Chain A
Amino acid sequence: MTTEPAYPADDPRRLLLDTRALAQRARRAQRATWFPLLVLAAVTFAATPVYLYGGYQATCAAVPGAGPLGAPGRVCLAYSDAQLAYWPIALVLAYAAIAAFYIRRSWARGIETRVRPYAMAGIIIAVALTGAAIWEAHSPPVRPDMGLTSLGLRLAAAPVAIGLALLVLAWAERNRALLVLTAAYLAVVLAHFSFGWVIEPGLRWYFVPRLVIDGSILLLGGIGFALAQRPLRSPAP
C-alpha cells in the first residue's frame, strides 16, 4: 500500500511552499547579524579612554539673546579632536573587519551575502558625518541653543552613523528584527534618551551614560542575534 502526499510534487501550491521555504533558508544562511553588532558595541565601549583623556576644545562666539534676560552673551561649542579622529578610523576598521568576516563566512557556507553595500554605506556615512561634525565644531555658534547637546551635533554623532548603516544591513539581510532594533537604537541616540541616568556636563565622566546605553543596546542586540542565529545542531542519534 502506498500513501499519496497531500500535494503532488508539481502541485502549484506545493511548488510555492517549497520555494518560500528555500528562500527563507537561504536568507537565514546569509545572516550573521550578531557579528557587526558585537563589533560596533566593542568600538563604542573602546571609545571610553578617548572621551576620558582626549581633551576638549571650544569654539566660542558672542550670540544675541544668550545672556541673562535676553542680553547678548557668549556661547561655546565644545568638541574633541580626539573623538573626531577616533570615530571615523574605528568605524572604517570595524566595517573592514565586518566585510572580511562576511566574505570568509560566505566561502565557508557556499552562499554570499550582500555585505558590500553595508560596508560601503557604513564607511561613507561615518566619513560624511565626521566631516559634518568637524564643520559644525569649527563654525562659531550663532544661536543660544547650540551647545554640547545641540541637534546638529547629535545628528553628526558616530552612533547615528552606526544606526544609519545598520538600516542598510537590515535591508541587505532582509532582516525585520534588525530593522526594529535599529529603529529603537536610533530613537534612543537621537532623543538622547538616558533612562534617567545623567552625569552633569563638565564632570569628567559625563559621557559614561551615553556610551554605556548606546553600547549596551548594540551588545544586547548582538547577544540576542547570536543566540537566535546559532547553528541548529541535529539531535544525537
Chain B
Amino acid sequence: MTGPAPRAHPANGLNDVVHQRVRLGILTIAHEAPRVEFGYLRTNLELSAGNLSQHLGVLENAGLVTLEKGYAGKRARTWVTITKAGQAALAEEITQLKLLISRIDRAGPPPE
C-alpha cells in the first residue's frame, strides 16, 4: 500500500517566463490598467529601453502580453496589454510565491 503522494514543492510550480523580477513587474503593472505605455514601464521599472524591449519580447512570444504601436502626435508610442493567459500566469505566480513563503516560514531558520 502506498501513502499519499508527496506534495510538489511550490518552486516547481513557478513559471520561468514569469518568475523574473522585471517580467513579473511588467505583468503586475499591466494587470492594474487596461493598457500601459512603454515609457511608464521604463520609468517605473528603472530599465533601459533595450532591456525593457527584450523582456516585452519574451512576454509577447509567450502570449502573456500584446503590444500595440501607435502615435501620439508625432511621438511613437507602444502600448502593452496583458492577455488572459498573462493574468492567469500572474495569479499562479503570486499563489506559488505565497506558498513558498509559507513553506519557508514553517521550516524555520536554517541550521547554523
- A33 on interface, CB distance cutoff 8 Å: no
- Interface pair B101/A12, CB less than 8 Å apart: yes
- Interface pair A15/B98, CB less than 8 Å apart: no
Alpha-carbon distance between A233 and B38 when the two chains are bound, in angstroms: 23
Alpha-carbon distance between A22 and B32 when the two chains are bound, in angstroms: 9
Among A65-73, A85-93, A103-111, A122-130, the stretch in contact with B? A103-111
- B52 on interface, CB distance cutoff 8 Å: no
- Interface pair B37/A23, CB less than 8 Å apart: no
Partner of A23, one of B31, B35, B43: B31
Which parts of A1-42 form the interface with B (CB within 8 Å)?
A: 9-10, 12-13, 15-16, 18-19, 22-23, 25-27, 29-30
Nearest CB in chain A: distance from B28 CB, A: 5
Alpha-carbon distance between A237 and B44 when the two chains are bound, in angstroms: 21
- Most B CB contacts (10 A, CB to CB) among A13, A16, A19, A114 go to A19
Alpha-carbon distance between A22 and B43 when the two chains are bound, in angstroms: 12
- Most A CB contacts (10 A, CB to CB) among B19, B32, B97 go to B32
Interface of B is mostly: helix
- A112 on interface, CB distance cutoff 8 Å: yes
Nearest CB in chain A: distance from B4 CB, A: 25
Alpha-carbon distance between A188 and B26 when the two chains are bound, in angstroms: 42
- A48 on interface, CB distance cutoff 8 Å: no
* Across-interface contacts of A10 in B (CB, < 8 A): 19, 21
Alpha-carbon distance between A77 and B101 when the two chains are bound, in angstroms: 64
Partner of A16, one of B34, B36, B38, B97: B97
Which residues of B are at the interface with A, using a C-beta cutoff of 8 A?
A: 19, 21, 24-25, 28-29, 31-40, 43-45, 72, 94, 97-98, 100-101, 104
Known: A19-B24, A22-B25, A27-B32. 11 other contacts (CB 8 A): A9-B21, A10-B19, A18-B21, A19-B28, A25-B44, A26-B28, A26-B36, A29-B40, A107-B72, A109-B40, A111-B35
